[in-house]
Amino acid sequence: MSTTTRILGALAALLLGLNSGAYAASIESYGQVSAGVGAERETGATSGCTNFGDAFNQFTNSGGVFSPHGCAGSPGARGMFGALGVLPFAMPDLGLQLGANYNGGDGSRFGAKLGPIYGWTGGKVGVIVDYQYRSHGSSNFFWITPAASLYFGNFNVNLSYTQQMSSIQTKTRTPQLSFGGISVNTEMQGNFQTRYIPTNRLQGTVSYFPINSLELNLGLQVNTFAGATKDIRSAGVGPVFAVAWMPIQSLELNLVKGSFDNRSRYNVQSGLAWHFYTGSTKGNDLKDIRRKYLQTPDPSVAIAGPYTGKSFFTP
């Protein structure tokens, strides 16, 4: 047994040993709708959408104008809508967690998630399957995420590992090329390709509640380091953070929520959520709301391109 395995096993045993109190009901009916705005970058190239290779450089240097049709993954504003719910099973302590979401601003992304969860008074565990459709290139992706949340008085520990189940999808993107405002057809048209690379993600966060209506969340995520395509991607490491407040019953204000990594990828957003629940929760108790479902991160796709021939950048 390796030293790393012993350390992880000892840490897990310590957390489970500390997590022996009764801090939440096991599984209850719960629902949430949310909306937000923010900014995102999915490509890992600091030069954005300008690194297209020699053919592109020769074209623009001779006076041509290049207008990419939605340079996928480039930084920009995003808008999000989502819904999440938990349905108890007939069997005690078991439930089904399901959700759906939409993200617009760089094409459209539609997502869905579904999976069984098990709850006890000290936490929840489960396995969630995520699906995502992206309008850019009509791409479809799947991920699977085993996750656990452990409850300790006024803080939660959230652990998850998201593994991609889909392969890289390469899509041809046709740019608009013109001289003097007149569109031209050249060998370059239809020759730009974009790689959509589903990523894996290991994440751990701690949610601290100084008062029951306020959440301070901080953690670490490591992405794009494993899976069938790991050798052509660059691993990313960076912080995960969030600040949320529930000023009145059922209404949550997500003041800020985001993640960054050392490959220039980021996602930052703010918004609000409305919660529907049963059980003993009363007033603006955000801590108890967080313990009604299993917290898992949304899956992500790293984007490389457009590129021509052998000239492309790795996210």
By CB neighbour count within 10 A (0-12 exposed, 13-18 middle, 19+ buried), where does 6 fall? Answer: exposed
- Strand pairing report for 251-260 and 236-248: antiparallel
Q: What are the backbone angles phi and psi of residue 222, rounded to the nearest 5°?
A: -125, 130
pLDDT digits (tens, 9 = 90+) for 212-258: 999 999 999 998 888 765 555 568 899 999 999 999 999 999 999 99
| pTM of the full structure | 0.79
Q: What percent of the chain has pLDDT over 70?
A: 68
Q: Cα 235 from chain centroid?
A: 16
Query: Which pLDDT value is given to residue 232?
Result: 55
Query: Which pLDDT value is given to residue 159?
Result: 98
Mean of per-residue pLDDT scores for the chain: 79
Residues in contact with 187: Cβ distance below 8 Å, sequence separation at least 6, in sequence order: none
Could you please state the CATH topology (level 3) that the domain comprising 3-307 is classified under: Porin (2.40.160)
Query: Which pLDDT value is given to residue 59?
Result: 46
Domain ranges for the chain: 3-307
